[in-house]
Amino acid sequence: MIDIRAILRLMERPAPFEPIGQPIWRDEYVSRQLLAAHLDPNTDAASRRPETVGRSVAWIIDTLQLKPGMAILDLGCGPGLYCQRLARAGMNVTGVDFSETSLAYARKQASEEGLQIDYRLQNYLELADKNRFDAALLIYGDYCVLSPADRRRLLTAVRDSLVKGGRFVLDVTTKECQKNSGLRAWFAAESGFWSDKPHIVLELGFCYPDEMVSYDQYIVIDQDDIIRVFRNWCQDFTAESIRTELESGGFRVLGLYSDLLGSPYQEDSSWIGIVAERTQ
């Protein structure tokens, strides 16, 4: 029998970044759907389209003046879309991700191409490398899903992993990117993204405008009355707030952009692309 009171509790407004459920990429079934979304060339749902990824890698190589043999770290590398392109350009690439499904695909692709890429199944908050990498990447808003405490932890780990003067490339969302906060909807399906069994999905979103935080929550109830909860937090930034946060973490911002293609930064941009340098 479905526990209605448990569902009602899940629909209450939580404190920002309050943890619940499990990460979406750790669910065995959903992680396979996420991989398919990463690899879909016709959507930006999980990864940007292949042509955009290719242009972004080319821009990063040019902007950072990366040379063959340099050590590059890709955090949240997923199925290796950026790692593969960097390795083809002669870089020594390390990819870190928490999804076994995505890394299994990435390793298979690297093996088939003969690319020497070090893929690690690891929480990148636990990164322990010291003075090793010439550049680190954290692409497609991964920084935004972290709580303030985890962002501080990440910046320390990334800073320590870089050589002095090493570069950190990331992108974050602005308030222009979040349009669905406050969403309340439900649907039923025989099978789909969330389950291969008949199920109901309750979608819920909240916005915290003072903190520039929002979240989307998905309560999945399958035919066996099993309830699974997935919650995606998002911290939005302004140019000033991301600059301040990076500087407090030991970085100097070298450039702000509207994307990771080098487009000039505009105040009404949905994204901010950042190139920063380790200073400490």
Tell me whether residue 34 is in a domain: no
Residues 140 and 37 sit within 8 Å (Cβ to Cβ): no
Tell me whether residue 129 is in a domain: yes
Say yes or no to pLDDT of 24 above 90: no
Say yes or no to pLDDT of 181 above 90: no
The CATH number given to whatever domain includes residue 255 is 3.40.50.150
What pTM did the predictor assign? 0.93
pLDDT confidence of residue 246? 98
271 by DSSP, 3-state: which? strand
What number is the average pLDDT over the span 197-220? 92
154 and 206 housed in the same domain: no
pLDDT confidence of residue 177? 56
Tell me whether residue 31 is in a domain: no
Mean pLDDT in the chain? 94
What residue numbers bound the domain in which 188 lies?
A: 4-22+178-235
pLDDT confidence of residue 23? 82
pLDDT confidence of residue 10? 87
Q: How far apart are CA 112 and CA 105, in angstroms?
A: 11
Q: State the alpha helices, DSSP H only, in the chain.
A: 4-10, 28-39, 50-64, 81-88, 100-113, 148-161, 239-248
69 and 167 housed in the same domain: yes
Give the model's confidence band at 244: pLDDT under 50 very low, under 70 low, under 90 confident, else very high. very high
143 and 214 housed in the same domain: no
Q: How many domains does the chain have?
A: 2
Tell me whether residue 41 is in a domain: no
Provide the strand spans (E) within the chain. 71-75, 92-97, 117-121, 133-138, 162-173, 184-189, 199-208, 213-222, 227-235, 251-257, 271-278
Angle between helices 81-88 and 100-113 (to 10 degrees): 20
Tell me whether residue 37 is in a domain: no
Q: How far apart are CA 18 and CA 65, in angstroms?
A: 40
57 and 108 housed in the same domain: yes
Q: How far apart are CA 73 and CA 86, in angstroms?
A: 10
Q: How far apart are CA 201 and CA 187, in angstroms?
A: 6
157 and 222 housed in the same domain: no
111 and 170 housed in the same domain: yes
Residues 154 and 246 sit within 8 Å (Cβ to Cβ): no
10 and 57 housed in the same domain: no
